[in-house]
Structure formats: structure tokens, C-alpha cells
Chains A and B, each alone.
Chain A
Amino acid sequence: MTSILEPLQFAFFQKGLLVAALSGALLGFIGVYIVLRGMSYIGHGLSHAIFGGFAAMQLFAAELYVVGAGFWGVLSAISITAVARRSRVGADAAIGVITTASFALGVALFAKFGTSGPSFENALFGSILGISAAQIWGLVGVSLLTVAVVFLRYRVLLFTTFDPDVAQASGVRVARVEALLMIILSLAILATLTVIGVTLVAAMLVIPAVIARMLTNSFGRMLALSTGIGALCGLVGMYLSYYASVPSGTMIVLVGAAVFLVVLSITGARGLRRTAGLDSHRESVGTAR
């Protein structure tokens, strides 16, 4: 019992637990939309793009680098959507070009000029060291904003996720809703980047949502379950990372993967069937040819 409570005596660990749980919950919550839209690869790409902004803005914007990186992320997200929409390049290729270039820029800037913020390894794989009060408030703020947006735009987000063509035909401004989701996603990635890490954020966007989908056929319950599973993975993963002395992000993702395997063994083929179609790219009258 003493050893379980041991890490809690450290203020940095308490902050780490809070941030990990909230990060997991936030990514799990947004992940439902990302997974159901077949946009998992966008989460992966965007986190890499934001890494570039993260590195660049530390050089140019000093203390305000987080704000700069946020703009960078939003800009990347909007460029990806625009390139994928307007050109013959598919979304996956557009993401591949824009985000990997941004990531490479980040690596180059890190290598050349170093950093005043988190180390290269911490930025990639997450760390609970050096979490500032501003970061916690930033995460709380982004979480509240996300919940507010989803609450107020619930029906529009659901409609455009399920059937964007008919949503468009029914007067919903689908492009605007997509941009809104991208902005929220960018902010969420940015706010969780320091704890989960660039390379692992995408996993936390996908894993809780897929597990939740295996457990329920209801969209509302999927949102709640995915948020809860994300928080649980964050909490348990952070705890285990203390004992295993490995980066927090890796342990959080490993816990998520373990939960996935447990749920898969319980739900079996039925659970897997429910996840079929999560990668579908649909085309019809409203938007495609």
C-alpha cells in the first residue's frame, strides 16, 4: 500500500497524474470523431506537424511558443483539409507531404539550435517532468472548450461524421464544421503533447475510441466510454511509468493496447465487426465526383 501511495507524495507526480488523466480523456473524447470519420491518419500527421511548430516557435516566440505552435498546428490542419479537398492529391498523400515536412523542420531546428523547453526525447515520447501551471490551465481550457463545442454542435458534428453529403444537401456547412474539428484537434494535440509525446498522441486518439466502439452500438455511450477509457489509460499508464522508469507516453499507450486486447478477447468477433468500416472513405453526390 505504501509503495502504491509513494509517488503521490511528489507534487510533480500529482500534476503528472492530473495531466495524464485529462489528456487521455480529451484525446479519447475527440478520438471518437476522428476514428468514425476514418481520419486516424490525420491525428498521426497533425501531431508530427505540430512538433515542427513547437520547435520553430521556441526559437522565434520565446515564452509564447505554445501559442505560436498552436497557430502552426491550426494552419497545418487547414492546409491538409484544403489540399485534400481541392486537388487530385488524396488526403493521405496531402498529410504525408505537409506533416512530414513540418516534422523534419522541427527535427532540423532542434538539432541546430537546441531548445529552451522540453528535450527532444521528451517532446517525442512525453514526460511528466517540468509540467507548469500554465500547461495545466491550458489543458483544462482546451478540454472545456472541446466539451462546449461538442455540446453546442453535437448534431452537426454527428450528421457530418455519419453522412457529410446529405448534411451538405441539408444546408449544413460541412467545410466549416470540418475546419472547426481540425482546430479543436490541433489545440488538443498541442495541449497534450508534453505528457503523451508527439509520436504517441495519435495512438491515444485512436485506441480508446476503437475500444469504446467494440463495447457499444450507441454514439452517446461511445463518447462517454472513450473519454473514460482514455482517462483510465492516462492514469494507470502514468502510474506504471513511475515504477518502470520509462517515458509516460509509452506506458499510457501500452496500457491502452493492453485494454484493447482484454476487450477484444471478451467481445471477440462481434467487437471486431463493429469496428469494420472505421477506415472507409465514402464518396457520393455532395462532395465527391
Chain B
Amino acid sequence: MTGTGVGEALVTLTDVSAGYGNTHVLHDINFAVREDQFTGILGPSGAGKTTMLRLLLGSLKPQSGTITRAPKLAVSYVPQLETVDWNFPITVFECVLMSRTARRILPWATPGEKADVASVLERLGIGDLAHRHIRELSGGQQQRMFLARALLRKPAMLLLDEPTSGVDFSTRHDVLHLLADLHEDGMSIVLTTHDLNGMAAHLPHLVCVNHHVVASGTPQEVITPEVLEGTFGARMEVLQHLGVPVVVDDSRAAG
């Protein structure tokens, strides 16, 4: 698997412009998510990363252009950790079970649902935390719980909003490996990030966005001083370390 997407297109954005009210956030976006794709949408704050995620998700309609999606496409979305109230009175099990909302009418879980939740929690290494209150989890465990909830829907495409924002180094490492495993299993993954060295450089495919698509390709192709300047508006130096690009501030340029 290459991660750059070689299979059927799941969602295709053609000449899409999008925004809110009279404000345009994204212009002329041409981008497709295919089977076998593992893409990071890279850009600074306010560049339109989240707007792009919303377009893929279908929660935002384009102002112009067209979006086509594969029939009966199952999409799961993992929000940023800080978007929910962690004091909310539910356990890990109850949170993960929420994914089954559409299929069931009665409040309680069936034995089959209990087994499914236990299995997905086990897979993500938090099987023993099922009956803990969500506040009692560490940042990494909370991220795994959200992933478990997303995976319970058995999605073909997984969208994640800044999955490593605000988590420590080891959690970031864990999340990255977890996502790589899911991609190995055949899931298409698109995430947003502004973390160049910790996240973007380790992904198979990147799309650099700053209100329009500045560049797309492998990290080796797009993590260059020119593309980064076009994306972030600042000059940066790119070094190579064990075949992975490493970005450092260009202090001479800053000076």
C-alpha cells in the first residue's frame, strides 16, 4: 500500500469553493480521496483545513463546484479532544456504543453490541477501561476511545481533525502507528495537521493548503522551503534525517 490512493475515488471535489456566508475560505479545490489513501491536510490555522474536512464529511455544502461521493460510503469522524465535555456522565463503553445510534431504538445494548464494543476496545488496547468514566482516561486513551467509536461503524473512510493536537510525544507516536495499522487494513484516512515534524513528515501523502491547494504529493515532494513558504507564509529550512525531511526555522531569514 502506498497511501497516495490508487483505488476507486470515494469522494471527489471538483473546482470547489467553500466558506461561510459571504466569506470564501477555499478556492478552486480539486482533490479526491481514493481507496488506499492516507493523506494529511497540512496548513496553518485559518487556512481552510477544517473546512476541507467538512466538505469531505458532507456537513458543509460548497459555494460552487461539485462534490461526488461513492454510493453508500461509510464515513467516520474523529473530532479534536477539546470539543467535548469530559465531565459528561458516561463510561467509555457508553461513548463507543453511540456509533450504533442509527440502528437501534431501545436504550440498552444487545449481547452482540456488547461483544462488538469489547472487541474494538481490545483492538485499540483499552479493553480494560470499558467501564471507566471518560474523565479518568489519559489524552492518548481518550483519543483511542474516539477511534474505537469511529471504527465501530466500520467506515471505508476515516476523517480526523488534528488527532495529535495537545497530546504528548509518546501518544502522538502511538496514534500515528495506530492509524498506519488501520490503513494497512484497507481504510482510507484523511487527517488535518499543522505539525510538520511530528506528524506530516511521517505520512505517505500530503496536501498543503492555504485557501487553495499549494501542493500535493509525498513528504519528500512537498516538504520543501518553497512549498512551505507558499503554505505557511514563512521561510523554513528543510534538513534530511534518515530519509525523513526535518523542518527548522530559518533564523537567517527571520533575522
Interface residues of A (CB under 8 A from B): 36, 151-152, 154-156, 158-159, 161-163, 165-172, 213, 216-220, 222, 273-278, 280, 282-287, 289
Contacts and interface: CB of A to CB of B under 8 A. Distances in A.
B84 A163 contact: yes
Interface in B107-129: 107
Contacts of B50: 285
Nearest to A220: B107
Contacts of A219: 88-90, 94
A284 B80 contact: yes
A275 B79 CA distance: 23
Nearest to B104: A155
Contact of A166 (B20, B79, B85, B87): B79
A169 B77 contact: yes
Interface stretch (B6-14, B53-61, B204-212, B214-222): B53-61
B145 to A, nearest CB: 12
Given A167-B101, A285-B79, A277 B107 contact: no
Interface in B64-123: 75-80, 83-91, 94-95, 97-102, 104-107
Contact of B101 (A170, A217, A286, A287): A170
A282 B83 CA distance: 6
B87 A155 contact: no
Given A170-B99, A170-B153, A285-B59, A277 B88 contact: yes
Q: Is the interface of A mostly helix, strand, loop or mixed?
A: helix
Q: Is the interface of B mostly helix, strand, loop or mixed?
A: mixed
Nearest to B94: A219
Interface string B155-181: 000010100000000000000000000
A233 B59 CA distance: 43
B229 to A, nearest CB: 27
Contacts of B161: 284-285
Given A165-B83, A167-B101, 17 more contacts: A151-B106, A151-B107, A158-B98, A162-B84, A162-B95, A163-B83, A163-B98, A170-B98, A172-B102, A217-B135, A218-B90, A277-B85, A282-B83, A282-B85, A285-B53, A286-B59, A289-B20
A280 B84 CA distance: 9
B133 interface: yes
Contacts of B79: 163, 165-166, 284-285
30 contacts: A36-B85, A152-B105, A154-B106, A159-B98, A162-B84, A162-B88, A162-B98, A165-B77, A168-B59, A169-B57, A169-B59, A169-B77, A170-B77, A170-B99, A217-B89, A217-B135, A218-B90, A218-B91, A219-B89, A220-B107, A273-B87, A277-B85, A277-B88, A282-B85, A284-B80, A284-B83, A285-B59, A285-B77, A286-B77, A287-B59
Closest 7 pairs (CB-CB, A-B): A154-B107, A284-B83, A169-B77, A277-B85, A277-B87, A217-B133, A159-B98
B54 A285 contact: yes
A47 to B, nearest CB: 25
Given A213-B89, A274-B89, A159 B75 contact: no
A72 B213 CA distance: 50
Contacts of B84: 162-163, 282
A152 B108 CA distance: 11
Nearest to A150: B107
Contacts of A156: 101
Contacts of A172: 101-102
B172 to A, nearest CB: 20
A274 B85 CA distance: 11
A227 to B, nearest CB: 15
B231 to A, nearest CB: 21
Contacts of A278: 85, 87
Given A165-B83, A216-B89, A155 B77 contact: no
Nearest to A276: B87
Given A166-B79, A277-B86, A155 B107 contact: yes
Contacts of A152: 105
Contacts of A159: 98, 101
Contacts of A220: 107
Nearest to B23: A289
Contacts of A36: 85, 88-89
A284 B79 CA distance: 8
Contacts of A151: 106-107
Contacts of A280: 85
A162 B153 CA distance: 18
A270 to B, nearest CB: 11
Contacts of B104: 155
Contact of A274 (B54, B77, B80, B87): B87
